[in-house]
Structure 1
Amino acid sequence: MQIRFPAPLRPGDAIAVTAFSSGVHPQLHGRLDEALDTLRGRGYRVVEGACLREEKHDASAPAAARLADFERFLSDPDIRAILPPWGGERAIELLPGLDFSALAKLPPKWLAGFSDVSTLMTPLTLLSGWATLHGPNLMDLPLRERAFGNEALLAAMETGKPPAQDQHDCYWSWNEPGRQFANRVRMLDGGSGKMEGRLIGGCLDVLVSLQGTPYFDLAAFKREPAILYLENCELAPCAVLRALAGLRLSGTLDGLSGLVLGRSGAQNAADGQALRYEDAVRAALDGLPYPIVIDADIGHVPPQWSLLNGAWAILELWGEGRARLSQRLVS
């Protein structure tokens, strides 16, 4: 598979904003406008889609309207990047309507975000060869505490690739507002380690729904060394076990050079007799013959790295939870 990388953004370029999953409720339009002003302040032209500023039935609009908006921006040569406000629940409805073969013939453009955004980004990399950027969502840009991840995301689009990124010193949880915790990206089996390969991945919650379909078929991608990364939004420990075990049974986890799991965004089991998150991961992944990293800066528990699907990556871990992720553009 040949991966094609979007050209770096330049002042004056047009960035489209459309919600192909959840839209932005009017109560949050102020935060949306701050995010759009951040882009304008960096010299970009912002083009709003028709599906953006409404939210009904967990979506910005009916599926046909969301698909039309997204397709218009994908094919418009004047648009250099597409930034959904955030993820949601219903991006999967657009997949049957997208012509990935036709998109493979078009110049790639930036598509960035996380959560349900993975539902479209990961297939776009696998089926059309577009490098796509897993990192903070547009609606994170006004949040000062997210500066660590936001600057890496913007730097990636403006230079053409993410900078080298170390682990952040701390992380915070939505379940315990105001508290910060020491960050410890680590190998599942302890110690130091290194993995190298081409990056692919996204949100476990949504990608597990695509296993067994062409939209999450890694067979061609794994003809060269590949690193799969996954992050959990809200799957409870037993659901995490089932999701990872299902990926293993389907062959998705075969033949990797490494697996990286982000911090889990779901509540851990409070009952001492119930299965806890890390035990679920160990039960599902025991015996895999490659390095496995957990609690990485990826996903729903901020801060987070920016990972370019399709880039060649080296992830090194050493010492007291220290990590460094480097990415290169190798087509």
Structure 2
Amino acid sequence: MPIRFPAPLQPGDAIAVTAFSSGIHPQLHGRLDDALNELRERGYRVVEGECLREEKHDASASAAARLAELRRFLFDPGIRAILPPWGGERAIELLPGLDFAALAELPPKWVAGFSDVSTLMAPLTLRAGWATLHGPNLMDLPLKDRAFGNEALLAALETGMPPAQAQHGRYWRWDEPGRQFANRVRLLGGGSGKMEGRLIGGCLDVLAPLQGTPYFDLDAFKAEPAILYLENCELAPCGVLRALAGLRLSGALDGLAGLVLGRSSGPDAADGDALSYEGALRAALDGLPYPVAVDADIGHVPPQWSLLNGAWATLEVFGEGEARLAQRAAR
């Protein structure tokens, strides 16, 4: 299916905000309001959904209510972008209720975010041909330490394509506040390398369960060279091993131009006798006939790149731990 790219956003355009997975607890409404006000200050009209400011049973509302609101915004020609506040756990419930064939006949609109937002974005690209934007979530916009990622996200929305990006010099973790770590993107086998292809991917935790379903079928997408990118949120090393090995057994990792893994925010080995995250990657991925980049700026360990699913990308990884990512519409 040909990939179609949303038009750049213009002042006055309407952006819908709906939590089709996890909602926002009242104690975080202030941060949400700051994010919405930032959109308004950039000249956009914010259309706030009803499935947003509550959270019960790990969701903003019932599956039926979340689906109805998401469908309304997807099919409303007046809505130019859908920005969920963040991901969550339960977006998978909505997939059977979405008519991707009908969406394939409509002009694409922006859908952006990461984590469980991947559950919607990957099928939108694969089944409806919409380019979708994996990058910081709406709730990241008020966080000043996220400027590196937020600026690239906003540039993509407002120009139609993410800018060229290099790895950020530092990264940080939620569980170690106040500390920063040297950022080194590298190839799993060492050395330097380059990959080119159309981007597709998202969060490993939510995409791995979709293997074997119509919602994450990469066969047609791989008619052109393809780069698959994945990032781990919560899986421990053995879970990472099972998820990646399952993708490999299903054929999802066959015929790629490259594989890119973000930094893992899941737990690592508890002691020296347990399987480490690095060991899990090697056990699952050794022998692949293309470059595998690891520790990229993708996902739950900030900062992060913006990657446009469906864009033609060139990723260069240099032996000293540096990387350069460029994206464009045409091959």
TM-score for both structures, normalised by structure 1:
0.99
What residue in structure 1 maps to residue 51 of structure 2?
51
Q: Secondary structure at the match of 2:156?
A: helix
Residue correspondences, number: 331
Q: Which residue of 2 aligns with 1:74?
A: 74
**Consecutive unaligned residues in structure 2, runs of 5 or more:** none
Question: What CA distance in whole angstroms lies between the structure 1 residues aligned with 2:216 and 2:81?
Answer: 23
For residues 119 and 155 of structure 2, the distance between their equivalents in structure 1, rounded to whole angstroms, comes to 24
SS at match of 2:34: helix
Aligned CA-pair RMSD: 0.7
What is the alpha-carbon distance in structure 1 between the residues aligned to residue 90 and residue 295 of structure 2?
27
Q: How does 1:169-318 map to 2 (within 5 A)?
A: 169-318=169-318
Q: Counterparts of 2:3 and 2:95 in 1: how far apart (Å)? A: 20
28-37 or 310-319: bigger deviation = 310-319
1:14-59 deviations in Å (ceiling 9; x for gaps): 0000000000011100000000001001000000011000000000
* CA distance in 2: counterparts of 1:235 and 1:161, whole angstroms: 31
Report the residue type matching 2:168 in the other structure. H
- Over the matched positions of the two proteins, sequence identity in percent amounts to 83
Question: Aligned partners of 1:30, 1:137: CA distance in 2, in Å?
Answer: 16
Partner secondary structure for residue 176 of structure 1: coil
Partner of 2:96 in structure 1? Answer: 96
Aligned to 1:3: 3
Structure 1 position 270, deviation (Å): 2.8
Name the CA distance, whole Å, in 1 between partners of 2:224 and 2:129: 15
Partner Cα separation in structure 2 for residue 311 and residue 122 of structure 1: 13
Describe the SS at the equivalent of 2:178: coil
Provide the C-alpha distance between the structure 2 equivalents of 1:320 and 1:9, rounded to a whole number of angstroms: 37
Q: Deviations over 1:282-301 (max 9, x none)?
A: 00001110000000000000
Structure 2 equivalent of residue 31 of structure 1? 31
**SS at the partner of 1:34?**
helix
**Aligned pairs for 1:54-65 within 5 A:** 54-65=54-65
Q: Could you tell me how far 1:267 is from its partner in structure 2?
A: 1.7
The residue aligned with 2:125 is 125
Tell me the distance in 2 between the aligned counterparts of 1:91 and 1:330: 31
Q: Which residue is equivalent to 2:144?
A: 144
Is 1:18 aligned with 2:46?
no
Q: Which amino acid aligns with 1:57?
A: H
Q: 1:213 offset after TM fit, Å? A: 0.2
Quote how far apart the aligned CAs of 1:319 are.
4.0
Query: Per-residue deviation at 1:317?
Result: 1.1
Structure 1: distance between partners of 2:120 and 2:270: 34
Superposition misfits of 4+ residues, deviation over 6 angstroms? none
Unaligned runs of 5+ in 1: none
Task: Give TM-score scaled by structure 2 length.
Answer: 0.99
What is the Cα deviation at residue 223 of structure 1? 0.6
Q: Secondary structure at the match of 2:268?
A: coil
How far apart, in 1, do the equivalents of 2:256 and 2:98 lie?
A: 28
Query: What is the SS of the residue equivalent to 2:327?
Result: strand
Deviation of 1:330 (Å): 2.2
Q: d(CA) in 1 for partners of 2:255 and 2:113? A: 27
One-letter code of the match for 1:198?
R
